[in-house]
Amino acid sequence: MISIKNLTFAYRGLKQKPVFEFFNLEVKESGIYGLLGNNGVGKSTLFYLISGLLHPKDGSVKVDGDESSKLTKKMLSQIYLVPEECALPLVSLSSYISMFKPFYPNYSQEIMDCCMKEFGLDMDMHLGQLSMGTKKKVLISFALATNVRLLLMDEPTNGLDHESKRQFRKIMASVMDEDRIIIISTHQMHDVEMMLDHYIILGKEGVLLNESALDISKKYAFGYNLEGEEVYSTKTVDGKKMIALRNEEDDETPIDIELLYEYVTSNK
């Protein structure tokens, strides 16, 4: 659904290296993707390029075959971006839904009601009276209710307390279907690791990893004091040795997302 080829992009007026140079990425299969990378590698910028809010200097960014920069009605009706910082109009939630749901032909009030109930929110609320965390819950709920095929979520768990993060994971699991791609950019890796079907790790060099969780778990085993062909190891703050090994058994093993991230970014 997403095809990015030879992308070059730089912010105007900034005398620094472009954010992307000859960058390539393909996202085809449905599922929940984790987009990981250090600050400054361009995760948010990538979301803005995919959604057509920024235009590439060179190369192409296509969503379902359409150049994202053309902002076609077809593309816009099937893509939604949840930004890290939430700014909502000073209207009631019902007014907000009435204004924006016509843009999304697959909008589901049933999903909206379900999300709001899970988050413990009231459909009669006024958006101008909400805390930042509650605004984010409302925006996440509406984003999921749009039923778009491509949902981009930039740091969705920032501003959420522990219970809200648990509710978020439960909601995400309940709304996922085989025709949908959800890409979550996050630094809060443990908030989402149990949900992810696929991992994309970015570095300054470009895409360092773009692989399914299933394939990773078959290739590597992660844990403490393991025996076998070690590919990477590190010590925790309490002195325990965390190890990534070649998985010789070809059985699925649990992925340690932080160890995977350290391994990939230190062995580019």
Q: What DSSP assignment string belongs to 77-126?
A: TTEEEE-SS----SSBHHHHHHHHGGG-TT--HHHHHHHHHHHT--TT-B
The rounded Cα 139 to chain-centroid distance in angstroms is 15
Asked whether residue 15 carries a pLDDT value surpassing 80, the answer given is no
Asked whether residue 194 carries a pLDDT value surpassing 80, the answer given is yes
pLDDT of residue 250: 65
Give the predicted TM-score (pTM) of the model: 0.93
Cα separation of 141 and 130, whole Å?
15
Cα separation of 88 and 239, whole Å?
46
Rg of the chain over all Cα atoms, to the nearest angstrom: 20
- Per-residue pLDDT averaged across 223-231, rounded? 81
pLDDT of residue 34: 95
- Find the range with the poorest average confidence among 68-72, 150-154, 182-186, 188-192: 188-192
* pLDDT tens figures, 101-110: 999 999 999 9
Domain annotation for the chain: domains and CATH numbers: 2-204 (3.40.50.300), 211-268 (no CATH)
* pLDDT tens figures, 45-79: 999 999 999 999 999 999 999 999 999 999 999 99
Cα separation of 178 and 201, whole Å?
23
* pLDDT tens figures, 126-141: 998 888 889 999 999 9
- Find the range with the poorest average confidence among 4-18, 145-159, 238-252: 238-252
pLDDT of residue 174: 84
Question: For the purposes of burial, counting CB atoms within 10 Å of the CB of 79, is it exposed (0-12), middle (13-18) or buried (19 or more)?
Answer: buried
Give the 3-state secondary structure of residue 237.
coil
